A and B are shown apart, each in its own frame.
Chain A
Amino acid sequence: MNWLPTRFSSRVYILLLLVLALAPFIFELIDQPFYLDLLSRALILAIAVISLNLILGFGGMVSLGHAAYIGIGAYCVGIASYYDFYNGWLHLALALSVSAVFALLTGAISLRTRGVYFIMITMAFSQMVYFTFLSLEEYGADDGLVIYSRSEFPGLISMDSATGLYYWIFALLLASLFFVQRLVHSHFGRVIVGSKFNEQRMQALGFNTYRYRLTCYVISAMMCSLAGMLLGNFTGFISPDMIGWARSGELIFMVIIGGVGTFFGPLIGTLAYLVLEEALSAITIYWHLIFGILLVALVLFGKGGIHGWLSRLDRKQVDHD
């Protein structure tokens, strides 16, 4: 299977990770601290996209409601801080456990459906979260809620500075990349991938595919809540707008642009999406139109996304050798 980065692309990815590791210094050098903001936000989204790719790319479960878990993670930080609980471990435990429970309950129902019904039901559940947040008068309802202080992790790097927070994000991004890679190659991962391609066969082989897929869904949701927790800290503000279903759709686009079911695709896809958005919106106010056409072209002609292109470049290179 064409998962692992091939030679040329793996060099590109390693270079990219190096640049990301040094980004705060690079941006300081060129005196553009604003870029660190952009990049922080991008990498947070990348974590969410990596988690979505786990179920969508490797497991074949197309969820149009994944942004709900970003919201859950962020609201866990926001609401805890509202009551003056700033301990980061508490925030982490809350985000992970609330998202796990919500994913278990909604996944148990959603995963009984297939295809377009699964898409619709995941979207419906995420809208449920959206409207719940909208109705929380105590926590600002549609005005949102300001978080006055970031999560505190005594003894670890503080999130208070932009650079500190960036390295938190970067570390969790690396952990997510590594974790998904391990997971997909494990016994569990084989079952998930097998169920994507031929679920009936997997059942005939003795696998209760429902349980495996549900477990995968919960793991993915918990990963995504980490992104939410980071986003709450980053923006210092939570509101229902973070998690409309359009945001879930964006996450799917990022997966597709980067390369569905690949390890680095989600990171590349997220960066490409956000850079494109930023660049186009600087050129013209009608940038949505161009952006839309580009996305359609990418989906139609860019088989395998950016990771696919890089891998094809590799194959050409091998031919020349």
Chain B
Amino acid sequence: MTDYLLSVSALHKHFGGIAATDNVNLEVERGQVHAIIGPNGAGKTTLLAQLSGQIKPDSGNIEFGGRSIVNDSMARRARNGLARSFQITSVVMPMTLLENVMLAVQGTGGHSFRFWKPVSQDTALKDAAMASLVEVGLDDRAAQIAANVSHGEQRQLEVAMALAMKPRMLLLDEPMAGMGKEEGSAMVEILNRLKGDITILLVEHDMDAVFNMADKLSVLVDGHIIATDSVDNIRNNADVQKAYLGDGHA
């Protein structure tokens, strides 16, 4: 039997008359990189937001590690090992890269109702954060203020923060968004290194990157998954080509 870390069944979400998520069923195998592709406005980010707990679905179920998490808060899901990065860079801009990642370590490492000892003296916390920065190649930028580093580096910081949470599963919302070619391939390299250790659900526009990394693909169109298959099969799938070519060449 296949070991699914995340399974989504009959998920629905409407905004007014628009079905942003229309009966989505999705299963992500442990240890795999599963990518969701689809044209703009297909509801990819909305789906991810429901998985992370940022918005509540109208109906349906989400199981993570065999337990329903559909009623858990975003913070609770994060503590249970479901980490997400944001499509629009979302870090604490006035803090340094190291301070940002330290927060990420803090968030999953027990409570932070510790009022007296300076956090800067918590070497275990610092070391763990530094390790994540090393993983994404930002260790030499650790003391920089997040607002002052390049967009690509902020995206890498996003990933470092997600990693620092020691997640069982990463939800990545367009990690390559707005990156140059070089930054993009650096990100692919980082993610490929994580492959196997962490289960990843990836939403991405960059098809080359997706075909490079993903084990499995789901195609989302108008809130509905029209196909889930291996990368090769999806490439040759007529429906998918229609959805994509229709969108791209219109």
Interface residues of A (CB under 8 A from B): 1, 182-183, 185-191, 193-194, 197-198, 200-209, 212, 215
**Known interface pairs A194-B103, A203-B73; A188-B114 also in contact (CB < 8 Å):** yes
A201 contact set on B, CB distance < 8 A: 86, 90-92
Report yes or no: A209 in contact with B106, Cβ–Cβ below 8 A: no
Select B113's contact among A185, A205, A206, A215, beta carbons within 8 Å: A215
Select B75's contact among A183, A187, A189, A207, beta carbons within 8 Å: A207
Report yes or no: B92 in contact with A188, Cβ–Cβ below 8 A: no
Report yes or no: B122 in contact with A190, Cβ–Cβ below 8 A: no
In the assembled complex, B161 has its CB within 8 A of some CB on chain A:
yes
In the complex, what residue of chain A is closest to B85 when comparing beta carbons? A204
B92 contact set on A, CB distance < 8 A: 193-194, 197-198, 201-202
- Whole-angstrom CA separation of A187 from B111 in the bound complex: 9
In the assembled complex, B61 has its CB within 8 A of some CB on chain A:
no
Interface locus among B35-43, B93-101, B178-186: B93-101
In the complex, what residue of chain A is closest to B104 when comparing beta carbons? A205
**Known interface pairs A197-B93, A204-B52, A205-B165; A187-B119 also in contact (CB < 8 Å):** yes
Listed residue (A1, A185, A194, A200) with the most chain B CB atoms within 10 angstroms of its CB? A194
Report yes or no: B107 in contact with A206, Cβ–Cβ below 8 A: yes
Select A205's contact among B116, B120, B161, beta carbons within 8 Å: B161
A188 contact set on B, CB distance < 8 A: 112-115
Q: Which 5 A-B pairs have the closest CB atoms?
A: A205-B107, A206-B107, A206-B78, A187-B114, A206-B79
Interface residues of B (CB under 8 A from A): 52, 54, 73-76, 78-79, 83-84, 86, 90-95, 99, 102-104, 106-108, 112-120, 122, 161, 165
A189 contact set on B, CB distance < 8 A: 115, 119
- Whole-angstrom CA separation of A188 from B120 in the bound complex: 12
Select B94's contact among A190, A197, A204, A207, beta carbons within 8 Å: A197
Report yes or no: B84 in contact with A204, Cβ–Cβ below 8 A: yes
B90 contact set on A, CB distance < 8 A: 198, 200-201, 204
- Whole-angstrom CA separation of A200 from B94 in the bound complex: 16
- Whole-angstrom CA separation of A246 from B83 in the bound complex: 45
Known: A197-B92, A204-B83. 19 other contacts (CB 8 A): A187-B106, A188-B114, A189-B119, A190-B106, A191-B103, A191-B112, A194-B103, A197-B95, A202-B92, A202-B107, A203-B75, A204-B74, A204-B86, A205-B103, A205-B106, A205-B107, A205-B108, A208-B75, A208-B76
Select B78's contact among A183, A193, A205, beta carbons within 8 Å: A205
B112 contact set on A, CB distance < 8 A: 187-188, 190-191, 207, 212
**Known interface pairs A194-B92, A201-B91; A186-B115 also in contact (CB < 8 Å):** yes
- Whole-angstrom CA separation of A200 from B92 in the bound complex: 10
Listed residue (B75, B114, B161) with the most chain A CB atoms within 10 angstroms of its CB? B75
B102 contact set on A, CB distance < 8 A: 190
In the complex, what residue of chain B is closest to A215 when comparing beta carbons? B113
Report yes or no: A185 in contact with B165, Cβ–Cβ below 8 A: no
* A-B residue pairs in contact (CB < 8 Å), sample of 27: A1-B94, A185-B118, A185-B120, A186-B115, A186-B119, A187-B106, A187-B117, A190-B99, A190-B112, A193-B92, A194-B92, A198-B90, A200-B54, A201-B92, A202-B107, A203-B73, A204-B75, A204-B78, A204-B90, A205-B107, A205-B161, A205-B165, A206-B107, A206-B108, A208-B76, A212-B112, A212-B113
Select B114's contact among A1, A186, A193, A205, beta carbons within 8 Å: A186
Report yes or no: B107 in contact with A182, Cβ–Cβ below 8 A: no
Report yes or no: A198 in contact with B78, Cβ–Cβ below 8 A: no
**Known interface pairs A1-B94, A190-B99, A197-B92; A203-B78 also in contact (CB < 8 Å):** yes
| Chain A: minimal CB distance from B159 (Å) | 13
Select B103's contact among A182, A183, A190, beta carbons within 8 Å: A190
A209 contact set on B, CB distance < 8 A: 75
A191 contact set on B, CB distance < 8 A: 103, 106, 112
A200 contact set on B, CB distance < 8 A: 54, 90
**Known interface pairs A194-B95, A197-B92; A185-B119 also in contact (CB < 8 Å):** yes
Listed residue (B84, B116, B117) with the most chain A CB atoms within 10 angstroms of its CB? B116
- Whole-angstrom CA separation of A124 from B73 in the bound complex: 30
B78 contact set on A, CB distance < 8 A: 203-206
- Whole-angstrom CA separation of A208 from B111 in the bound complex: 9
- Whole-angstrom CA separation of A112 from B93 in the bound complex: 24
Select A206's contact among B94, B122, B165, beta carbons within 8 Å: B165
Listed residue (B52, B74, B91, B102) with the most chain A CB atoms within 10 angstroms of its CB? B74
A205 contact set on B, CB distance < 8 A: 75, 78, 103-104, 106-108, 161, 165
In the complex, what residue of chain B is closest to A201 when comparing beta carbons? B90
**Known interface pairs A201-B86, A205-B104, A207-B107; A186-B93 also in contact (CB < 8 Å):** no
Report yes or no: B118 in contact with A182, Cβ–Cβ below 8 A: yes
Listed residue (B91, B118, B122) with the most chain A CB atoms within 10 angstroms of its CB? B118
Listed residue (B84, B113, B122) with the most chain A CB atoms within 10 angstroms of its CB? B113
Report yes or no: B165 in contact with A186, Cβ–Cβ below 8 A: no
Report yes or no: A186 in contact with B118, Cβ–Cβ below 8 A: yes
B116 contact set on A, CB distance < 8 A: 182-183, 186
Report yes or no: B103 in contact with A202, Cβ–Cβ below 8 A: yes
Report yes or no: A187 in contact with B122, Cβ–Cβ below 8 A: yes
